[in-house]
């Protein structure tokens, strides 16, 4: 079924505008998380492929790609966006099978991919420097310049969205890119190669090399000609990447995990909040760095929120990706095991509600029920560590001060939301919370092409998305001229 939908090779690497075998000729296998079947063979790239990809990107910077004007780069990104739009259903179908996410969620990701290329296409020729008043007879101005060859290491949970934001911003600034997608889901990443050719991107401006993290990924970050690394993934690998990159003093943007809170005050519009409280936790089966896994609720409305959340939770359905229920499977048996291990720590907690499995789910699929735990202490392991699964905890709080203390009690700081109609409280709490993004009376997990996104602490550093990302993908030159 998948093969009929693939119009490009999946067992090749994409270098210098061409599909080729990887040097080792070794292959890896991609599994459909919904039923455990092997759906595609991919390459196991190594340092030779990485070196060729980086060289091809360097050549493109010195010639065709590097010679384009900002407006011409923008037109290519617009074209790429159009080509993605023409293939929305096709790309969503591929992503749903590869990642296991419900089809409708995969469609949203395809729309976001197109929108990122459109947004950054439009930004290309609007990035300006400034003039600086200085001594008499001097003219001083700044220029935003590309880093050079940028390395992009991405995970399996949102391939299309992350490709859009990271390649879009980097290409807009005039860098040439080498993308190492995840060995667990990389089919839509490979599609970008074919679409880039169709759009007319110069050879070498975009290169794609699937392979293992410890081989292809590690070779990419230690390559001497890589000038910037953008990484989205786990905290553990983020630390490795930062320390490896430090050996060549290469700047990194790290978008890691989260334990993002939603704070529901006593004057909140609970019915408006309800779908956000739940969807932000179960979207993509909770495998979202910006998932909201902690729900902090004022004791004054605690029982009402618990009752409403529990009632909605018990209606949640888990099904195969193409059945398009509330949740699909998790990516792998390994991930299911990680979640299971966390649930072993839940024995002292009360599970207030859980979802249901759809009928006749394939035995070899990796299914996990969404679970809602209540009356959880903020210091509990399940309230402190990122689980990366559909598990949410409700934590009661006394007052504003207590809510802020609990919200800021983890090592993470990625996303938060505040539910209250009190304008002054909205401002106070938004200011006090340690978080890269704060939503007020909404929650934007996964959304917001235009909105700067990133965290602090264990959530990483640097910003992706929005105009802000363009600064991270460029370097500032100060020119000082004496008349």
Query: Shortest distance, CB of residue 320 to ligand ADP, whole angstroms?
Result: 22
- Closest-CB residue for ligand ADP? 213
Q: Does 446 bind ligand ADP (CB under 6 A)?
A: no
Q: Does 462 bind ligand ADP (CB under 6 A)?
A: no
Known catalytic residue at 37: no
Q: Does 370 bind ligand ADP (CB under 6 A)?
A: no
Q: Does 166 bind ligand ADP (CB under 6 A)?
A: no
Using alpha carbons, select from 388, 3, 42, 38 the residue that is nearest to residue 186. 42
Q: Which of 52, 183, 289, 386 is catalytic?
A: 289
Known catalytic residue at 289: yes
Number of H helices, E strands in the chain: 15, 22
Q: Which of 183, 203, 255, 385 is catalytic?
A: 255
Q: Tell me, residue by residue from 11 to 50, as one string, x for binding to ligand ADP by CB under 6 A and - for no binding.
A: ----------------------------------------
Among 174, 233, 365, 454, binds ligand ADP (CB under 6 A): 233
CB 273 within 8 A of CB 418: no
CB 45 within 8 A of CB 22: yes
Which of the ranges 149-157, 351-359, 433-441, 467-475 carries the binding residues for ligand ADP, by CB under 6 A?
Answer: 149-157
CA separation for the pair 401, 432 (Å, rounded): 10
Residues 6 or more apart in contact with residue 50 via CB below 8 angstroms? 178, 180, 209, 216, 219, 220, 223
β-sheet bridge partners, residue 182: 185
Q: Which two tokens stand for residue 262?
A: 């939603």
Among 17, 213, 261, 328, binds ligand ADP (CB under 6 A): 213
Q: Pick the closer one to ligand ADP by CB: 163 or 406.
A: 163
Query: Shortest distance, CB of residue 132 to ligand ADP, whole angstroms?
Result: 39
Query: Shortest distance, CB of residue 241 to ligand ADP, whole angstroms?
Result: 6
Q: Does 414 bind ligand ADP (CB under 6 A)?
A: no
Q: Which two tokens stand for residue 268?
A: 């909140």
Q: Chain-centre distance of CA 218, in angstroms?
A: 20
Q: Does 450 bind ligand ADP (CB under 6 A)?
A: no
CA separation for the pair 288, 290 (Å, rounded): 5
Rg, Å, the chain Cα set: 23
Query: Shortest distance, CB of residue 190 to ligand ADP, whole angstroms?
Result: 14
Among 221, 296, 321, 368, binds ligand ADP (CB under 6 A): 221
Please provide residue 348's backbone torsions phi and psi, each rounded to the nearest 5 degrees. Answer: -85, 5
Q: Tell me, residue by residue from 179 to 208, as one string, x for binding to ligand ADP by CB under 6 A and - for no binding.
A: -x-xx-------------------------
> For 124-269, where are the alpha helices, taking DSSP H only?
159-172, 187-199, 218-222, 235-247
Q: Does 153 bind ligand ADP (CB under 6 A)?
A: yes
Please state the three-class secondary structure of 204-244 as a single string.
Answer: CCEEECCCCHHHHHHHHHHCCCEEEEEEECCHHHHHHHHHH
Query: Shortest distance, CB of residue 76 to ligand ADP, whole angstroms?
Result: 25
CB 446 within 8 A of CB 460: no
Name the one residue in this structure whose structure tokens are 């998305």: 465
CA separation for the pair 296, 277 (Å, rounded): 10
Q: Does 258 bind ligand ADP (CB under 6 A)?
A: no
Among 24, 234, 242, 408, binds ligand ADP (CB under 6 A): 234
Among 14, 117, 156, 453, binds ligand ADP (CB under 6 A): 156
Q: Pick the closer one to ligand ADP by CB: 180 or 336.
A: 180
Catalytic residues: 255, 289
Binding site for ligand ADP (CB under 6 A): 153-156, 180, 182-183, 213-214, 217-218, 221, 233-234, 237, 240-241
């Amino acid at each position: 079924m998948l093969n009929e939908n693939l119009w490009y090779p999946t067992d090749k690497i994409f270098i210098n505008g061409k599909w080729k075998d990887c040097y080792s000729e070794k292959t890896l296998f991609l599994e459909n998380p919904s039923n455990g079947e092997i759906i595609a063979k991919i390459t196991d790239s190594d340092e030779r492929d990485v070196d060729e990809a980086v060289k091809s990107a360097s050549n493109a910077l010195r010639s065709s790609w590097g010679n384009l004007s900002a407006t011409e780069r923008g037109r290519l990104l617009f074209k790429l966006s159009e080509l993605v739009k023409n293939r929305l259903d096709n790309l969503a179908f591929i992503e749903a099978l590869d990642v296991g996410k419900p089809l409708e969620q995969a469609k949203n990701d395809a729309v976001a991919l197109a929108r990122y290329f459109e947004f950054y296409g439009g930004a290309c020729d609007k990035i300006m420097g400034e003039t600086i008043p200085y001594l008499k007879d001097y003219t001083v101005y700044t220029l935003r310049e590309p880093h050079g060859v940028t390395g992009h290491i991405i995970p399996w949970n949102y391939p299309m969205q992350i490709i859009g934001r990271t390649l879009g911003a980097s290409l807009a600034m005039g860098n040439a890119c080498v993308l190492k997608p995840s060995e667990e889901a990389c089919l839509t990443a490979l599609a970008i190669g074919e679409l880039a050719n169709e759009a007319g991107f110069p050879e070498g401006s975009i290169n794609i090399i699937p392979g293992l993290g410890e081989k292809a990924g590690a070779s990419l970050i230690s390559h001497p000609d890589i000038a910037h690394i953008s990484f989205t993934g786990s905290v553990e690998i983020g630390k490795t990447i930062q320390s490896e990159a430090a050996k060549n003093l290469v700047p990194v943007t790290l978008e890691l995990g989260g334990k993002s809170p939603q704070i529901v005050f006593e004057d909140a519009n609970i019915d408006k909040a309800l779908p956000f409280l739940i969807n932000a936790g179960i979207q993509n089966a909770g495998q979202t760095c910006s998932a909201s896994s902690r729900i902090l609720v004022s004791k004054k409305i605690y029982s009402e929120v618990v009752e409403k959340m529990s009632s909605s939770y018990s209606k949640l359905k888990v099904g195969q990706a193409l059945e398009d229920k509330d949740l699909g499977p998790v990516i792998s048996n390994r991930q299911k095991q990680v979640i299971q291990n966390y649930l072993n720590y839940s024995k002292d907690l009360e599970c207030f509600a859980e979802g249901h499995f759809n009928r006749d789910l394939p035995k070899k699929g990796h299914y996990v029920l969404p679970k809602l735990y209540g009356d959880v202490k903020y210091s509990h392991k399940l309230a402190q560590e990122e689980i990366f699964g559909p598990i949410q905890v409700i934590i009661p709080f006394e007052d504003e001060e207590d809510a802020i203390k609990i919200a800021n009690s983890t090592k993470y700081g990625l996303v938060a939301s505040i539910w209250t109609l009190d304008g002054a409280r909205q401002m106070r709490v938004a200011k006090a919370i340690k978080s890269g993004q704060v939503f007020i009376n909404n929650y934007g997990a996964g959304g917001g092409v235009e909105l700067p996104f990133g965290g602090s602490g264990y959530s990483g550093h640097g910003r992706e998305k929005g105009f802000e990302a363009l600064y991270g993908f460029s370097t500032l030159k100060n020119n000082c001229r004496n008349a």
